[in-house]
Structure 1
Amino acid sequence: MNMNKHEIRQLIEAGLPGAQVQVEGDDGQHFEATVICAAFAGKPPLAQHRMVYATLGEKMGREIHALKLSTRAA
C-alpha cells in the first residue's frame, strides 16, 4: 500500500510536534519533504534526517520508496 503526501506530513508532524512540514510528490512512492523544527537546533543534518526518518518508522523502504529531505532548525 502506498502513502500519500498528506499522510507523510501528518506522521512527521505527530513525531516532531511544532515542526513546519511540507511534502511534495504525487506518484505514491517518491516524495520530497522540507521540515523546519526547533528540535533540530545544534544537530548536524544527518541527525536531523534520522529524527525525521524515526517519525516514519517501518514505512520507510516499504510504503515510502524514496524521500528526499531538506531540514533546518526553526
Structure 2
Amino acid sequence: MPMAADDIEALIRAALPDAQVQIRDLRGDGDHYAATVTSAAFAGLPRVRQHQLVYRALGERMGGELHALQLTTAVPQE
C-alpha cells in the first residue's frame, strides 16, 4: 500500500520538530516522492548524516510502503 505525503511529512516532523518539509509526489502513484527538509538539526552535519536523520524518522517504511524518496536537506538561513 502506498504512503500518503501527509504521513511522510508527519513522521519527519515528529523526529525533527523544527523542520520545514515539502513533499512532492513525482509520479502520482504515492510510491515515488521528493522531499525537501530544512532543519537546524542539520547544522554542522555532513549531507550523509542529514539524510540518515530523515531516513531514521521514516524507519522501516523506506523500501516498503515508501518505495523511493529523492531527498534534499538544508540548514535554515538566518
Q: Do both proteins adopt the same fold according to a TM-score greater than 0.5, normalized to the shorter chain?
A: yes
| Gapped regions of structure 1 (runs ≥ 5) | none
Task: Report the Cα distance in structure 2 between the residues aligned to 1:32 and 1:43, rounded to whole angstroms.
Answer: 21
Alpha-carbon offset, residue 2 of structure 1: 1.2
Please name the residue that 2:7 is paired with: 7
Please name the residue that 1:66 is paired with: 68
Please name the residue that 1:29 is paired with: 31
Alpha-carbon offset, residue 27 of structure 1: 1.2
User: Which 4+ runs in 1 deviate beyond 4 A?
Assistant: none
Q: CA RMSD in A?
A: 0.7
Instruction: Provide Cα deviations, 1:8-36, integer angstroms capped at 9, x if missing partner.
Output: 01110111111000001031100000000
| Gapped regions of structure 2 (runs ≥ 5) | none
* TM-score of the pair, normalised by structure 2: 0.91
For residue 70 of structure 1, what is the amino acid of its counterpart? T
Instruction: Provide Cα deviations, 1:36-74, integer angstroms capped at 9, x if missing partner.
Output: 000000001110000000000000000000000000112
For residue 5 of structure 1, what is the amino acid of its counterpart? A
Aligned residues: 74
For residue 16 of structure 1, what is the amino acid of its counterpart? L
* TM-score of the pair, normalised by structure 1: 0.96
